[in-house]
């Protein structure tokens, strides 16, 4: 019984993500229990924060104007966040243009739950 409970907690805490290294895009599947909520993506140098509302269906946000007091961005790090509502209360959040270094972590918190996913350092492949 304890094992079944631990499996259920692990399933609820798991966040389904996919990192496209070449396209610099992160795909995150959010369950309805995490809306409204925040999605935090952090590596050793950067922190990205995206808010997803309770009634979000489809939205697109572009971040490239810099922070308060800084000069506007030069477009070298143009972040595009897209949210699309899927079937069964799930939704897909796509963040493009991220400059992430491994290892990095993705945390989604809100609604009645929290989920986390850690992306480890990429393994080196030997070249022949």
Residue 128 lies in a domain: no
Q: How many CA atoms lie within 13 A of 78 on its CB side?
A: 5
Q: Please state the domain count of the chain.
A: 1
Give the other-Cβ count within 10 Å of 110's Cβ: 19
Residue 102 lies in a domain: yes
* pLDDT, the chain, mean: 77
Residue 127 lies in a domain: no
In whole angstroms, give the CA distance from residue 95 to residue 75: 15
Q: What is the CA radius of gyration of the chain?
A: 16
Domain boundaries, position 14:
2-119
- Summarised one tens digit per residue, pLDDT across range 53-99 is 777 676 666 665 555 555 555 555 678 888 888 777 788 889 888 88
Q: Which residues contact 8 (CB under 8 A, 6 or more apart)?
A: none
Which pLDDT score is estimated for 63? 62
Report the CATH number that the domain containing residue 15 is assigned in CATH: 2.60.40
pTM across the whole model = 0.71
Residue 126 lies in a domain: no
- Rounded to an integer, the average pLDDT of 14-42 is 86
Residue 68 lies in a domain: yes
Residue 77 lies in a domain: yes
């Amino acid at each position: 019984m304890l094992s079944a409970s631990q499996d259920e907690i692990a399933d609820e805490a798991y966040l389904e993500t996919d990192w496209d290294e070449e396209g610099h895009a992160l795909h995150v599947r959010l369950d309805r229990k995490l809306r409204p909520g925040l999605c935090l993506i952090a590596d050793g140098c950067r922190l990205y924060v995206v808010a997803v509302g309770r009634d979000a269906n489809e939205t697109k946000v572009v971040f490239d104007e810099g922070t308060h007091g800084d000069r506007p961005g030069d477009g070298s790090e143009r972040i595009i966040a897209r949210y699309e509502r899927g079937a069964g209360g799930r939704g897909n959040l796509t963040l493009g243009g991220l400059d992430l270094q491994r290892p990095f972590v993705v945390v989604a918190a809100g609604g009645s739950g929290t989920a986390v996913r850690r992306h480890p350092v990429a393994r080196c492949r030997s070249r022949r």
